[in-house]
Chains A and B, each alone.
Chain A
Amino acid sequence: MADPVSTMPLRVPVARPWRMPLVVGVAALAVLAVGSVILPTFLVNNLIRSFLYAALALTVDLLWGYTGILTFGQSAFFGIGAYAAGLVFVHAGYSPLLAAGALAAGLAAAWLVSRAIGWLAFYHGASPLYASVVTLVLPIVLVQAIYSGGEFTGSSSGLSGFDSIDLPLEAWFFIAGAFLTVLAVIAWLFVRSDAGRLLVAIRENESRCEYLGIDVSRYKARLMDTCALVAAFAGFLFACVQMVVAPEYAGFVFGTELVIWVALGGRGSLLGPIVGALLIDTGSAYLSGDLPYIWTLLIGIAFVVVIVAMPRGLAPLVADGVRGMLPRRKGPAPVAVTFVAAPARERDDATGGTARPALSLRGIHKHFGSLKVLDGISFDAHAGELLSLIGPNGAGKSTLMRCIADGAQRSGGTVEIGGAEIRRLAPYDCVALGVGRKFQTATVFDSLSVAEALRIARYRVARPSRWQRSTTLELPQPALDVLRLTGLDRIPEQQCRYLSHGQKQALELAMVLALEPRTVLLDEPTAGLTKQERTQIGSIFVSLATRYRMCLLLVEHDLDFVRQISSRIVVLHQGRIVMDGGVDEVVNSDLVRAVYAGESHTGTAGTEGGA
């Protein structure tokens, strides 16, 4: 699901990240105040509209450019806000109280619709294509609903001729511009903050986020709710200033125009979409009259070219150009993030205490159609154990790992983590029970730095600030050990995409450990590592089990590695446990040798041990 388009890399964190946005915001307000008076009327008219559209484009950028949710539906929320105003003013007349009521109604309606869309589109396992489809269907449904409203909603005609807030055009110019400015500043602060990095993390690797305990679907739905409210507000303002509402403003053609502006301006850059929206919308007012067909044709061509060849849009190109032209300045020294030890957390059955197994499986089975992959897997694993799961390819090892960390995967049986059944819980809820899973291929967040990735991993334990960037990051000792041992603690600002394979593996392990799990699932952790890295990581695993009393469940092919570090080995063959015992016992058994050599095909002679 990785998206090759990356966000513009964040500059190294500055001590006070809110200063720049606020300064720019205030300057913009000043420019608006002056501009409202000196600019010609036609331009003012157009800019009012363009400012509101740019605010919409901003929401699309947050949803799509940053979080990867391709949405065509922001126009629908805009339309809801606009029609709320239109309907109230036409049928009930105008008064300040009614206006406030209309605004409240519009916001409430937008919020409700957004919740419905969230339910439809964002759930564990939803495909991004389906989510986009839902956002496409929304404006279509809304427009048809408007059409079916006959005289009440004005149908194809729209509603017009109503009174609204009586303000001069200059005042509206300032209001619309201020709306955009405030929104842009808030978005800027959010995106630069620690919490804002989560958007990028979701876009780059949603699955990893879920396994870090983050309820991605809920997050996306909340984000969409917020953007829906903003869009509805913009629509309300639009209806008040234009005094006309029409179905076109809620339709999907407008929704796709917004996406076009964001794509051309530069997705994931905030400023790009704003500039794109302003230039194209106001530009078209001037140019499309004179060169009607050509203008739209040019936009269409530019759009296709940008998507195919320059997916990041035009903003990064312009920004690079500008930066190249400006004289190099020595800015304030950047402050790197430092890692500190987190205070030890209250644990109910902290050390020792084998009263309750860390992991307990009973009768797990999984089938795909008529193919049975796991059949009756049962065993317990305790704190302090380093349990290796071995078996030939196709034995079902990775499938078993998935069934432990994700409640929806198995077809039957029970899984208990720390005594609590996982039932059908999604990965992020399983993480809450104390299990962490490290994937087979090192999945980190390419666009984020080491420190940012680790902070995302700490999301459940320590919510990152929504407007600040913290210069320290608390990590539990095991994670710190991993970082120190592999040298990652010295390069906290390095972007993950530039790490070596071994470093990525280590980082992912540190991220999983940052969750403070009691049970760690490791899926082929030595794949692709050098001998030295393998020894290093082996010693880490042993210390996790012995020093920190975690329960480690390892899937491995490297029998030497397994023999060196494990305290117990479980052998899987064709979906069943054929052996479960101590290292020597298993390694020296004939059965295991036969299984690996492929001689026995059914669990026949000599099934020893096992639960």
Chain B
Amino acid sequence: MLNLGLDIVTTAAILFIVSTGLLLVFGVMKIINFSHGAFLTTGGYASVIVAQAGLGWWWSIPCSLAIGFVLGMAVERFIVRPLYARPLDAILATWGLGIIVGQLITLAFGRGVQMVASPLSGAVHWLGAQYSAYRLVLVGVALIIALALGWLLNGTRLGLQTRAVIMNEALARGLGISSARVRFITFCTGAALASLAGCLITPLASVDPNMGVAWVVGAFMLVLVAGASLVNLAVASTVLGGAQVLVSTFVNPVLGGLTIAVLAALLLRIRPEGFARG
């Protein structure tokens, strides 16, 4: 029972970490960044680079953030900006970008699957149950990210401008806020977060050029349901992530994989605003 509860909480944390970058981009720019998966992958390979360079795993965190941010700058400038008025095309172009990044990574690192050693191995004994220490740590990481982003959005001027653009871009521009700058910084931050998420999930699984693809659709459904609010994303991650764990455990792990997508689609049909207040 406790294991189940921990499964739900840690799964929700992981989903949250993976989706925050996408939420930021969707909230501000109203487009779905399908290259999110590619950024996840770059984060994973950042860990590989760090491991090959012989440095400790914790160096992957700044490394992945940096790589994600820089890559995000180029992508926003050349691919996302021209497509601002064509959201469906933006989905396609960013998906294409994901393919390109995947192939470049394959060229650089090979097709094969790579393993990265976990920084924190073994289990923690707690209240009679054994649970993976690393997964528990990720819950803490999710909280830190949420708090940091929350502070950025609510406590800084840039954050205030960002929230203005989220609510009403035309009005924000009319008030003198450079929405182009806000969008640029938002995209780069979103990309950096995606990359960070990628590096954080590598100890749990393996790294290969297509690792990000599996996460994109789930993250994207969560973001659609959550709208533009971090709190809503946390709620969505817990509810839908919990449903995924329950279905995986009691029905079939295979069907569990599609719980998020199906539930989110049904939810949006019934209530197009998702969890946001109507």
Contact = CB atoms under 8 A, between A and B. Distances in A.
> Are A and B interaction partners?
yes
Contacts of A5: 89
Given A128-B88, A132-B88, A147-B254, A137 B262 contact: yes
A252 B221 CA distance: 15
Interface residues of A, number: 41
B265 A120 contact: yes
**4 pairs of A and B residues whose beta carbons are closest in the complex:** A300-B99, A297-B103, A303-B96, A304-B96
A132 B100 contact: no
B83 A308 contact: yes
Given A128-B88, A144-B255, A307-B96, A137 B265 contact: yes
Interface string B249-274: 00010110110011001101100100
A351 to B, nearest CB: 45
A73 to B, nearest CB: 12
A130 B272 contact: yes
A136 interface: yes
14 contacts: A4-B85, A129-B32, A130-B269, A133-B221, A133-B224, A136-B217, A137-B221, A148-B252, A148-B255, A293-B106, A297-B99, A300-B99, A303-B93, A308-B83
Contacts of A252: 217
Given A148-B252, A296-B103, A307-B96, A129 B87 contact: yes
A191 interface: no
A303 B99 contact: yes
A120 B88 contact: no
Contacts of B107: 293-294, 297
Contacts of A256: 95
A311 B255 contact: no
Interface string A134-152: 1011001100110110000
Interface string B136-159: 000000000000000000000000
Given A137-B217, A307-B83, 18 more contacts: A3-B86, A4-B85, A5-B89, A120-B266, A128-B88, A129-B224, A130-B272, A133-B265, A134-B265, A137-B265, A141-B261, A144-B258, A294-B107, A300-B96, A303-B96, A304-B96, A304-B100, A309-B82
Contacts of A303: 92-93, 96, 99
B99 A307 contact: no
Contacts of A130: 224, 268-269, 272
Contact of B91 (A70, A137, A311): A70
A337 interface: no
A415 to B, nearest CB: 24
A169 interface: no
B104 interface: yes
Nearest to A120: B269
Given A70-B91, A304-B93, A137 B103 contact: no
Interface in A101-146: 120, 125-130, 132-134, 136-137, 140-141, 144-145
Contacts, number: 101
A133 B220 CA distance: 9
A163 B200 CA distance: 48
A444 interface: no
Given A137-B262, A293-B106, A304-B79, A129 B88 contact: yes
A400 to B, nearest CB: 23
B103 A308 contact: no
Contacts of B86: 3-4, 311
Given A133-B221, A303-B99, A308-B83, A259 B258 contact: no
Interface residues of B, number: 40
Contacts of A136: 217
Interface centre among B85, B100, B107 (most CB of A within 10 A): B100
A140 B217 contact: yes
A299 interface: yes
Nearest to A304: B96
A120 B221 CA distance: 15
Contacts of A132: 88, 91
Given A120-B269, A141-B262, A308-B83, A301 B100 contact: yes
Contacts of B92: 70, 259, 263, 303, 307
A148 B269 contact: no
A260 interface: yes
Looking at chain B's contact residues, the main secondary structure is helix
A157 to B, nearest CB: 14
A141 B102 CA distance: 24
Contact of A300 (B91, B103, B221, B258): B103
Interface centre among A140, A147, A259, A308 (most CB of B within 10 A): A308
A148 B254 contact: yes
Interface of B: 32, 78-79, 82-83, 85-89, 91-93, 95-97, 99-100, 102-104, 106-107, 213, 217, 220-221, 224, 252, 254-255, 257-258, 261-262, 265-266, 268-269, 272
Nearest to B88: A70
Contact of B99 (A4, A126, A129, A299): A299
Given A140-B217, A293-B103, A300-B100, A308 B265 contact: no
A304 B32 CA distance: 15
A429 B79 CA distance: 41
A144 B257 contact: yes
Contacts of A299: 99
Contacts of A120: 265-266, 269
B89 A311 contact: yes
A307 B78 CA distance: 12
A308 B272 contact: no
Contacts of B268: 130, 133
B97 A304 contact: yes
A60 to B, nearest CB: 12
Contacts of A309: 82
Contacts of B213: 253
Interface centre among B97, B103, B266 (most CB of A within 10 A): B103
A136 to B, nearest CB: 7
Nearest to A4: B86
Nearest to A148: B254
Contact of B96 (A128, A134, A260, A293): A260
A501 B97 CA distance: 40
Nearest to A132: B88
A141 B266 CA distance: 13
A147 B265 CA distance: 21
A260 B258 CA distance: 25
Interface in A464-508: none
Contacts of B87: 129
B5 to A, nearest CB: 25
A258 B83 CA distance: 21
Nearest to B251: A148
Contacts of A141: 258, 261-262
Nearest to B86: A4
Contacts of A137: 217, 221, 261-262, 265
Nearest to A303: B96
Nearest to B92: A307
Contacts of B257: 144
Contacts of B88: 70, 128-129, 132
A371 to B, nearest CB: 14
Contacts of A127: 272
